[in-house]
Structure formats: structure tokens, C-alpha cells
Structure 1
Amino acid sequence: MVLVESIPEHVKYKDNVTYGIPLGKAWKDLISMATKEVNIVSFYWTLTGDDINLNTSSDILGRDILKGLEELPSRNISVRALASIPTIKTNSTDLKVLKQKGAQVRNVNFGRLVGGVLHSKFWIVDRRHVFIGSANMDWRALTQVKELGVVVYNCSNLAKDLYKIFQSYWVMGRSNSSLPEPWPAKYDTTINSYYPLLVKNENVSSKIYLAGSPPSFCPSSRTLDLDAILSIISEARYYIHVAVMEYFPTTRFEKPKRYWPLIDDAIRTAAFNRKVKIKMLISCGLDSDPDMLPYLQSLASMDSPHEGVSIQIKLYILPVGNQTDIPFSRVNHNKYMVTDKVAYIGTSNWSGDYFLTTAGVGLVISQHAPHPVWKTKALQRQLGEVFDRDWHSEFAVNLADLGHQPDCALSRK
């Protein structure tokens, strides 16, 4: 189990901090390891700068990944690629090129099926290795956007379980598809929050399960992503550290919008009733929605040392510098949480639609190990160190100290 990260170009941390392995390396390794099949899900695909009429050396890694995937069918390795309808507007030819090279490609019309989008981002290689994280199949995810995910190698039980989710998307990618009610038994899982997968490796014992959304795509045996998040928050005893791009206690995309306080209430309850210490690192870039600010201020206003209530919120602001010509970049795209008990790595932002009508997955990991092993091998500890690195970095700004930040849309609210 390995933490994977993308740190954008021109972003430097102080020495002696924890990093995940580079996302580009992880993806290249998975391509080179493949012997039978590669199945990839992404909200959208855009691995070259040409897609946005941009000539940039920053897309070289994206081009390498695309070339690596293109070559797989000629080695008799099956490639299946999934993307969403509707999706963001680009002139991407990735899927067309992959199809020409022998890959199978489908677009799932989540808008027609459930009113949302396919927002999951994961790989399954040979039904043995998996990647789950925040990164879309986008060259910017490799060099211009801060991403976080996890690769689990040689775990066929987990890979086969994720494959069931992949298959549910794949069959719904047919033009005449309609949602089954209930899902056939072959989509059921034996791995969930009640019966996690038990794994032991290098003296680290892990309990793992996959959560999914939306409910209409999950058999009753699958733990829902929202339920996983709420249970993790409710079971934390000492601290909850959250890093997400977007946080709204509302829906965002349906009309009219609705108040949706489930996660917000759980955080407030943990802080007030159980005195769990909360730290939240929310992304702010040029494309962030300034309407997020009052909700964050409301949450932060509960912070009261006198009452023993601790809710600290910082905005993570990546410097844009001379990268102004690259749209939808220079942002912290992470979607994870780490507590004193659990590590959670997901694909969804924290607002209502992502758990009601949008496809996402979350990987929940709880680990135990002897102290020396824990310090060097536990992914849960590593994720905590990555959070601390970002929290104490020059890019994290206290909500109360926001002032004018040229690279953060919330500072203009």
C-alpha cells in the first residue's frame, strides 16, 4: 500500500518532509506491470496540452502516459477506458486515439441515469493492483494540480471488489441502459464496513473496504461513501484532519440548491460533544466558488478554547506564478481524511450532490503495527504526515488571516 502524490511544478517544501511517490511514476509502473488488462475510470480524459490549444512542456508526462496506454493492445493487453457524460468541455482526442489502437471505450451518461456525473478516478490492473485517488486522466494532474491517491499492489481481493464497481459503470455505458433495481447478485460485495478485508503485510495489519456512491449504483451490501465518512467522523476520539478541494453543507448542481448539513453536523457534533480536535484544509484557487467562505466561517466560529471546542480551518493556496495560461490548474485537488483510527482516501468533494447523484469511491484503511514498523510502514501514519506537512506549509493560510490573496477567489468575497 503506497501513498501517491502529485506536487505541482514550482512548489517547494522545506527539507525532511514526507512525500508520496510521484503520480506519474505510479501510473507508468502500473502500465509496465500489466500483463492481461488495464481498466481505467476518469471523469474526463485530456492527457495533452493540444486539448486546450496549449503548447507546453508541462504535458510531456501526460503524453508519455497516453503513449504507454496506446501501446498495450499491441502486446495483447486489454484496455478499457471509461469517462462521463456530461463532462467538462475540451477538444480531447485521447479516447478516440485509444479506440483506434484497440482499446474499448465507453462514456456513461450519468446525467440521464441519475442526474449527476461519473466522478470516480481509479485504475485496476490485472485484477491485482489498484489506484484510487483525486487525479483525473489529465496532464495537469501530473504537473499543475496537487493530487493525492493510493496504490495497492498484489491485492486481488480488493481489485476484484473494485472491478465490480467498474463493471456497474461499464454496463451502464450502453446507450439503452437503465438502472437495475436491485442490482444483480454478481455486483454484491462481501467486503464492507461491517466485514472489512483483513490484510497483513510487513508486520502491518490493515482492515480495508471500498465505499461507493451514488446509492442507486450500490447494492445493499456495499457501504455508501457518505455512511463511511459519517462513521469515521463519529468514531474518531482525538482528532480529525480533512483535506478537500471543496466543502459545502448544500447541494451544488441541482436546481434549486438544498441545504445538506449531514457532514457539517457530524463535524460540529464531534467537536462539541466529544471534544475531538478538528483541522480542515480547504483548497482555494482562482476557480474556487467564493460562496464557500461563509460556510467555512460558520464552522470556524465554533472554535472555543474556553469550551474545549477546537475547529481550525486553513485555505491551501497554490501560487499561480507564471502559469496563468493554464486553466483549471494550480489547485489542491485532494479528497482525504485521517483520524486517530482511520485513513480515508476518496474521489469526491464534500457537498451534497457528490453523495446523492454522482459516482465516487472511497478507500477506508485502519491499521495497527508495532511502533517501529508503524513509523516507517503504515500508510495511515504517512497520510497524517502529509497532512501535517501541508498544514504547516507556507501555502496554508488561516481563514481569519485571509486578507487579499491574488491566487484565491475566496479572498475577494
Structure 2
Amino acid sequence: MCDKNNQKLNEMNTPLLTQYEEELKIPKKKLSLLIVVQILILICSLFSICYLLVIPFLYNKPSTEDTVCTSECRVVLVESIPTNLTYAEGAPSHVSTFNTWMNLIQSAKTKIDVASFYWTLRAHHDLNITESPSTVDGETIYKELMKAGTTRNIDIRIAYNMPSSKFPDWDVLDLVKAKAVEARSLNFSRLMNGGILHTKMLLVDDTHFYVGSANIDFRSLTEVKELGAAVYNCSCLAQDMSKIFEVYWQLGEKDADVPPIWPEDLNTNYNFTNPMPVPFNNTNARVVLSSSPPSFCPKGRVSDIDAILHVIDRAKTFIKVAVMDYLPIIPEYRRGEAEQLFWPVIDDRLRKAAIERGVEVQILGSIWNHTSPKMLPYLRSFKVINEIGENKVNVKLFRVPDDQRHIPYSRVNHNKYMVTDNAAYIGTSNWDGSYFTLTGGVGLIVNNTHSTSNDSNSLQDQLRDVFNRDWESIYAEDLSI
């Protein structure tokens, strides 16, 4: 009886249980789906965190802006004084270009980058020059580079202007043949429809560099008066300079064109809106690197002409300019389109500084066998400003004694710098319009605000003393009107 009753009870309960179980199945499915979604969200979140925090460290190069300048940053004025050019006892003197280049090359640990116009470190038959005391320093630099690239396993890259019959660049070709360097030439006729690569820069380990007027030429070491700056132990600034070199390196690729927008990794944060703070020689300096032509300037990079105008416009008491060529024109504009174009951009600003603000302006040009006959009339017209009011404007020409006539294109003051009461500018360009619109060049601009030591050894002070030494020397001739 009991079994029958139980069976009846089971039959009565079965539909109820089945219905209850069916009702329970719906939440279980929802619960399972919810768990799966939560797991997927967790996995995506972990992947995103990994991507944002880990991947950049694995694949991204360190940013220049992340490198902090240290108190070890040092800047040194560098000069080449031609043989038989002497100054009075006690006159300012600085380390030689030869010693600086040797020091930079020998200190290299991993790499050397060189940007240059042409290469003539050795005396070649095409120059009709035999070996002499004047060529020894150049030969030594060449051998040291060969040793660095072959024996010491230093990676050497050379970006230089495309060779020509006038500049065949045998040095580069022989270094490449020996597998000591990798080289790329820039074809400015193709890139800019004119101009040249006129930069003179050596960069070592993205930590030290030289920039200045000296070409990679034995004459720049012994027979031409040169001025530049060497920066040591300053990776913050050297890494910014490396971005300028990378522009040249990219343009040296086969069939390269100047891009409308440069790659982001070549941008810089450092310009006159945001100059780089650098503790040069125990002084608090603000530093900017400039480049020309403007189309070679990635985002943030100030152009060389804008840098020069910026320095001129902020001068309050004096402007001292030493440059080989000073011409307010663009000679041979775009090779055949026009004989020349009037380009008074710098000239106007200098005149404005003298006339409107009463700034004392001194221009020290160069006179030698290849001085443009157009330069002297332009400089005379500048000097005439003195006849208007009480302006303080003067022009002199520096003449290096010409006692090495057998060496062509030598015995000249090849400097390209400016110093004011506000800043120092050291460049690689002559001052005519073609150098700032068509030609590759670099500028170093240093503004010293305060010295933390009793000795005044700022770059501005040193550069001013060099200018005054040359201006007052027996080699500086007054320009007659």
C-alpha cells in the first residue's frame, strides 16, 4: 500500500520538479555567460596594462627629452690658428681643432657620426699638393678614423655632400673601400634644386660633439683660421644633435626626397620657446640647436635663420659678428632661374638694432684671394649708418698673411659666429641668403644667465674675448668708405 502511495506521490511531483528544474536552468545559463564575459574583460584589461607599461620598454628608443643634463656638461671653444699667424703675449688662446678631433675619435666607445661638406684630410694629386708639414695633422686624423673603423670596431657613419670633380672625396671612398665607415652622400641638386651640405659636425656616442667652421680638410687644421665648439659629457644635448644627423642620413638614401612631414622620432621639444637647460662649465645656460634649410627642420626645430634673427633682436648693448662672407643676396638663385635675389633679412635686422635700439654693431669680414667683389660695397653701405645720428657701427676685414701660396683655398679667416650681450651663436654657414634657404647647416646657440663660480668662463665671455682679440690685432683692417 505504501509503495502504491509513494508511486502516486512521485507521479504527482514529477511535473512540478521538472518545471522547477527548467526554471533553474535559465539563471545557470545567464550565470555562465556572465562569468565568461568577466573573464574576457579581465584578460583584455591585463593585456592593455601589459601593452602600455611593458611594450614601450622593449621596443621604444629612449626619448631625448627624458635625458636630464648633468653638471658634467662642458663646452670648450676650439680654434685653428694658421701657421705664421701670431698674437700678442697674453692674448686669448684655445685648444686646437686637431687636438679636439683626435680626442673625440680616440674617446669613442661605440660610434662616430660625421656630417660634412667634403673630405680632403690627405694631400692628393688632384690638389697638386705634395706632403708637407701642413698636411701631417690631416693625415693623422685620417689614420685615426681608419683605425677606429677597422681595428677598434667603432661604427662610423659619414653624411657628406655629393662628390664632384672639384671635390672627389677620395678619403671617403678609401674609408668605405676598407670597410672602416658607412657613407651616404646628399644630392642637393635633387633635394633642393641647388645648395650643398655645408655642415661641419662630429658626434661621438651621442655624448660628445664638435660643431664649427672647420671642414674635414687638412687645411682647416693648419692653414685656415677656424672656430668651433666642443661639447663633452652632455648626452642630453648630443642626442638632440643626433636628430639633425639622422635627417641627413635619411636624405642620403637612394632616391630620397624631403618629406612634407618628418617622422615623429626626429621632432624636438627644444627651441626658443623651450630652450634646453644645460649646466655648462658651472654656469646656468639655455641652449638651442638650429638647422637649415627650413625644410630640413622637423617639428620643434628652429631654423638657422630664425636663430640668428632671435639673437640679434634680443641684443641690448652690442652685437659682434665674425663671418667669412656677408652678402644680403642669394647668389645664383636656384641655378639659372635668376642671377641673384635681394635678401636683406639679416642686414635689415642689424641696421634696425643699431638705428632703433642704439646697439653697437661690429662686423669682422674676411679678405682673401676669393672674396666676392660684391661683399665690400654692401659692407660699406652698412658702415655709412654711422653718419646718421649717433649710431655705433663699424666694419673691419681680417687678412691672414698669405705665405702659403702653393696651397689653394687656404689662408683665410673662415669663422662663422656672433656674440652679443645676451647670447653666443656658433654656426657652420656663411652669411648670404643661399646658406639659409638652400644649404644644409647647423647652429649652436647658448645663453648664459648666471655663473655659479667666481671665474667668468661662460661661452659668451670667451667668444667676446676672441672677437676683441681679432678686432684689435694687426690682421684686422679698417674698411674705407
The TM tier, using the shorter chain, reads over 0.9
Match of 2:114, SS state, is strand
Query: Quick one: distance in 2 between partners of 1:116 and 1:225?
Result: 15
Q: 1:181 to 1:342 in 2, by over 3 A?
A: same
**Could you give the per-residue CA deviations for residues 368-389 of structure 1, whole angstroms, max 9, x where no partner exists?**
33486452x2121011000000
Question: What is the match of residue 58 of structure 1?
Answer: 134
After superposing the two structures, state which structure 1 stretch, 366-375 or 270-279, moved more: 366-375
After superposing the two structures, state which structure 1 stretch, 325-334 or 366-375, moved more: 366-375
| 2:395 equivalent to 1:313 | yes
Identity %: 42
Q: Select 1:126's aligned residue among 205, 230, 244.
A: 205
Deviation at 1:36, TM superposition (A): 0.4
| 2:172 equivalent to 1:172 | no
Query: Quick one: distance in 1 between partners of 2:220 and 2:365?
Result: 18
Question: What is the match of residue 34 of structure 1?
Answer: 108
- Name the amino acid aligned to 1:108: L
The equivalences for 1:8-407 within 5 A come to 8-50=82-124, 51-55=126-130, 56-73=132-149, 74-85=151-162, 89-102=166-179, 103-114=181-192, 115-254=194-333, 255-304=338-387, 307-321=389-403, 323-370=404-451, 373-375=454-456, 377-400=457-480
Query: Quick one: distance in 1 between partners of 2:368 and 2:325?
Result: 11
Deviation at 1:48, TM superposition (A): 1.2
Task: Give runs of ≥4 in structure 1 deviating > 6 Å.
Answer: none
**Could you give the per-residue CA deviations for residues 230-282 of structure 1, whole angstroms, max 9, x where no partner exists?**
11111100000000000001002323210000100000000000000001100
**Could you give the per-residue CA deviations for residues 2-26 of structure 1, whole angstroms, max 9, x where no partner exists?**
0000000110100101112100000
- Name the amino acid aligned to 1:392: E
After superposing the two structures, state which structure 1 stretch, 193-202 or 227-236, moved more: 193-202
Query: Quick one: distance in 2 between partners of 1:80 and 1:294?
Result: 42
**Could you give the per-residue CA deviations for residues 10-55 of structure 1, whole angstroms, max 9, x where no partner exists?**
1010010111210000000001110000000110000012251311
Match of 2:408, SS state, is coil
Q: In the alignment, is the contact (CA less than 8 A) between 1:86 and 1:111 conserved in 2?
A: no
Q: 1:91 to 1:207 in 2, by over 3 A?
A: same
Query: Quick one: distance in 2 between partners of 1:296 and 1:380?
Result: 25
Q: Which runs of 5+ in 2 are unaligned?
A: 1-74
Q: In the alignment, is the contact (CA less than 8 A) between 2:283 and 2:452 conserved in 1?
A: no
Q: In the alignment, is the contact (CA less than 8 A) between 2:213 and 2:228 conserved in 1?
A: yes
**Could you give the per-residue CA deviations for residues 349-370 of structure 1, whole angstroms, max 9, x where no partner exists?**
1111111010001000011334
Match of 2:229, SS state, is strand
Question: What is the match of residue 47 of structure 2?
Answer: none
**Could you give the per-residue CA deviations for residues 91-110 of structure 1, whole angstroms, max 9, x where no partner exists?**
54100121123210111101
Q: In the alignment, is the contact (CA less than 8 A) between 1:36 and 1:126 conserved in 2?
A: yes
Query: Quick one: distance in 2 between partners of 1:259 and 1:24?
Result: 38
Query: Quick one: distance in 2 between partners of 1:188 and 1:270?
Result: 32
Query: Quick one: distance in 2 between partners of 1:70 and 1:81?
Result: 13
Larger Rg: 2
Q: In the alignment, is the contact (CA less than 8 A) between 2:291 and 2:303 conserved in 1?
A: yes
Deviation at 1:67, TM superposition (A): 0.3
**Could you give the per-residue CA deviations for residues 109-159 of structure 1, whole angstroms, max 9, x where no partner exists?**
012101211011101100000100001100000000000000000111111
TM-score (norm: length of structure 1): 0.94
- Name the amino acid aligned to 2:122: T
- Name the amino acid aligned to 1:387: F
Deviation at 1:202, TM superposition (A): 4.5
- Name the amino acid aligned to 1:159: A
Question: What is the match of residue 405 of structure 1?
Answer: none
After superposing the two structures, state which structure 1 stretch, 91-100 or 36-45, moved more: 91-100
Query: Quick one: distance in 1 between partners of 2:158 and 2:416?
Result: 23
Q: Which runs of 5+ in 1 are unaligned?
A: 402-413
Q: In the alignment, is the contact (CA less than 8 A) between 1:214 and 1:355 conserved in 2?
A: yes
**Could you give the per-residue CA deviations for residues 185-220 of structure 1, whole angstroms, max 9, x where no partner exists?**
111001111111101244311111101110111123
TM-score (norm: length of structure 2): 0.81
- Name the amino acid aligned to 1:54: I
Query: Quick one: distance in 1 between partners of 2:272 and 2:297?
Result: 14
Query: Quick one: distance in 1 between partners of 2:93 and 2:480?
Result: 28
Query: Quick one: distance in 1 between partners of 2:248 and 2:364?
Result: 31
Question: What is the match of residue 409 of structure 1?
Answer: none
Q: 1:278 to 1:87 in 2, by over 3 A?
A: farther
Q: 1:87 to 1:314 in 2, by over 3 A?
A: farther
After superposing the two structures, state which structure 1 stretch, 194-203 or 135-144, moved more: 194-203
Query: Quick one: distance in 1 between partners of 2:451 and 2:256?
Result: 50
Q: In the alignment, is the contact (CA less than 8 A) between 1:42 and 1:84 conserved in 2?
A: yes
- Name the amino acid aligned to 2:129: L
Q: In the alignment, is the contact (CA less than 8 A) between 1:86 and 1:110 conserved in 2?
A: no
Equivalences, count? 398
Query: Quick one: distance in 2 between partners of 1:282 and 1:201?
Result: 29
Q: 1:241 to 1:38 in 2, by over 3 A?
A: same
Query: Quick one: distance in 2 between partners of 1:374 and 1:257?
Result: 48
Query: Quick one: distance in 2 between partners of 1:217 and 1:187?
Result: 11
Query: Quick one: distance in 2 between partners of 1:303 and 1:75?
Result: 58
Query: Quick one: distance in 2 between partners of 1:374 and 1:39?
Result: 34
- Name the amino acid aligned to 2:353: A
Output the aligned Cα RMSD: 1.4
Deviation at 1:87, TM superposition (A): 5.3
